[in-house]
Amino acid sequence: MVVNAASGNSSDTDNLGTPFTLANGKGVKNRLFKSAMSEQLGTKAYNPSAGLSTLYARWAKGGVGIAVTGNVMIDRTALGEPKNVVLDEQSDLTEFAKWAAAGTQNATQLWMQLNHPGKQIPNFLSKEPVAPSAISLGRGLDKGFNTPRALTEAEISDIVNKFATSARLAKEAGFSGVQIHGAHGYLVSQFLSPRHNQRDDKWGGSLDNRMRFVLSVYQAIREQVGEAFPIGIKLNSADFMKGGFTEEDSMLVVQSLSQAGIDLIEISGGTYESPSMMGDKAKKKSPDEPKKESTLKREAYFLDYMEKVRKLVSTPLVVTGGFRSGTAMNQALQSGATDFIGIARTMAIDPEFPNKLVADNQHSMPLTVPTTGKPALDKLGMVGLVWYEHQMWRLAKGKDAKANLSALGVVLKTMLSAGLSAFKQRRA
């Protein structure tokens, strides 16, 4: 059965194995969506390493319907992490073509996530990052991130064009679609947030002005890739910061993107300052609001928000975060709140997780939180990130993941290989 995307709703009989057709006619074989994780597998020239092809071939064979890459930067002078991949006119497209070919095996769609970090560039990578306004990151992060310079209007237009160029090149290389990274406090998110965007020109102030950047990026990409090439976005439900991007703002942005014709919307939340996307439990809408028992039971961080959004738009939706069991995933689909289920860390441990879920709707995979046994070291070493990163590196070398991989060993190995700079603030 193929779902009519124009309806915007999944049937109450759909399950993870049910195909889906996007509004542009592109079919997706099932409802499993591998959300982006930062692989840190770029070469010194910022091209994809051979390991990325090995990793994504493994995931494609594992049965996922759509796989989204870790964030690929559109500008080699604006890196979010030391080993980022960059796609621009200087890139070696043959290496990207190999990655695309590997990741589109087994009727899998491979979408490239495109990103600009804005001010979220560690200070060892940039002395003067750029942002909508010259406002530093708060909560002590100014120690690791330099205060940005406000972008000029000409520079904003240049960045919009770079997004479009990267998308065109991704299509030429054989990727199935692209996803704009509009979440987690990166540049698109910074423009949307009144906390970080305090401009007094057409790019700031009202929500209509603050969303001008993301709509401009989408429209520029569409002009380069055509109507039939899928474009998605990862968007915050809110950034969970006082004076920041609110749930109400987010819903209006979702409606505007839907009206503009975007093909798929993935919902996440948080920023570096309030990293809601990094935990393993359902997130509160505000620091003082208790978590609903129903939300905890259904496992998904942002499912309550999605239920509200579904009433507003027919654009296909993805909810990511916290799903571990086929039972909860199928319940989410059948509720009509989402059309795809985003998974990530589970696939870093078991690349066959999608195949197992489709074969057995009750299959589950609880994850334990890796720890060194020393909370201070866990925080310093960013264990919740680097432990999964090391699992991906194992897969990229053709090995299996190791569920009992020592968290302490991972921290020590990372520290020895890259020094303390390896633990500078990083996010997916």
73-84 pLDDT per residue, tens: 999 999 999 899
Q: What is the mean pLDDT of the segment spanning 244-249?
A: 82
The pLDDT value recorded for residue 387 is 94
Beta-carbon count within 10 A of 416 CB: 9
Q: 342: closest CA among 323, 357, 361, 356? A: 323
Contact 304, 292 (CB under 8 A): yes
What is the chain's mean pLDDT, rounded?
A: 87
Whether the CA torsion 278, 404, 415, 39 is positive or negative: it is negative
Q: Which stretch of 157-171, 182-196, 224-238, 299-313 has the lowest confidence by average pLDDT? A: 299-313
Residue 178 banded pLDDT, cuts 50, 70, 90: very high
Q: Is 414 exposed, middle or buried (0-12, 13-18, 19+ CB in 10 A)?
A: buried
Q: Is pLDDT above 50 for 5?
A: no
Which pLDDT does position 139 carry in this prediction?
Answer: 62
115 contacts 181 by C-beta, under 8 angstroms:
yes
Given a contact cutoff of 8 angstroms between Cβ atoms, the answer to whether 137 and 148 are in contact is: no
Query: Residue 172: its pLDDT value, please?
Result: 98
From the list 344, 222, 234, 217, the residue with the least C-alpha distance to 280 is 344
**Nearest Cα residue to 105 out of 179, 26, 174, 22:** 174
The larger pLDDT score, comparing residue 106 to residue 236, is at 106
CA dist., res. 428 & res. 425, Å (int): 11
The answer for residues whose C-beta is within 8 angstroms of residue 416's C-beta and 6 or more apart is none
DSSP category for residue 34: E
- Which has more pLDDT, 12 or 59? 59
Query: pLDDT tens digits for 44-56?
Result: 999 999 999 999 9
What's the fold here for domain 5-367? TIM Barrel (3.20.20)
Looking at the DSSP bridge assignments, the partners of residue 131 are 150
pLDDT bin (cut points 50, 70, 90) of residue 271 is very low
Q: Which amino acid is at 178?
A: V
Q: CA-CA distance, 302 to 221, in Å (whole number)?
A: 27
Instruction: Give the per-residue pLDDT at 381.
Output: 82
Pairing of strands 27-28, 20-21: antiparallel
pLDDT above 90: percentage of residues in the chain = 69
Per the listing, tokens 């589950």 go with: 364
pLDDT of residue 293: 54
Taking only the tens place, the pLDDT of each residue in 196-240 is 999 999 999 999 999 999 999 999 999 999 999 999 999 987 665
Kindly tell me if the per-residue pLDDT of 402 is higher than 70: yes
Residue 293, number of CB atoms within 10 A of its CB: 9
- As a dihedral over the C-alpha atoms of residue 62, residue 66, residue 71, residue 72, rounded to 10 degrees, the angle is 100
The answer to which of 8-22, 261-275, 352-366 has the lowest mean pLDDT is: 261-275
Contact between 273 and 141 (Cβ < 8 Å): yes
| Residues in Cβ contact with 133 at an 8 Å cutoff, skipping those fewer than 6 apart | 148, 150, 196, 197, 198, 199, 204
* DSSP 8-state secondary structure symbol assigned to residue 3: B
* Those residues with Cβ within 8 angstroms of residue 378's Cβ, 6 or more apart along the chain or in another chain: 371, 372, 384, 407
Q: Residue 153: which of 212, 80, 220, 78 has the closest Cα?
A: 212
Nearest by Cα to 117 from 253, 271, 257, 245:
271
Q: Give the pair of three-digit tokens for residue 74.
A: 């559109």
Nearest partner of 138 among 41, 242, 213, judged by Cα: 242
Total-model pTM? 0.89
Residue-wise pLDDT tens digits, 371-391: 999 998 988 888 888 999 999
| Per-residue pLDDT at 243 | 64
- CA dist 147 and 133 (Å) reads 10
pLDDT of residue 92: 97
Least confident of 35-39, 44-48, 217-221, 285-289: 285-289
Query: Could you state, in order of their start, the residue ranges of all structural domains in the chain?
Result: 5-367, 369-428
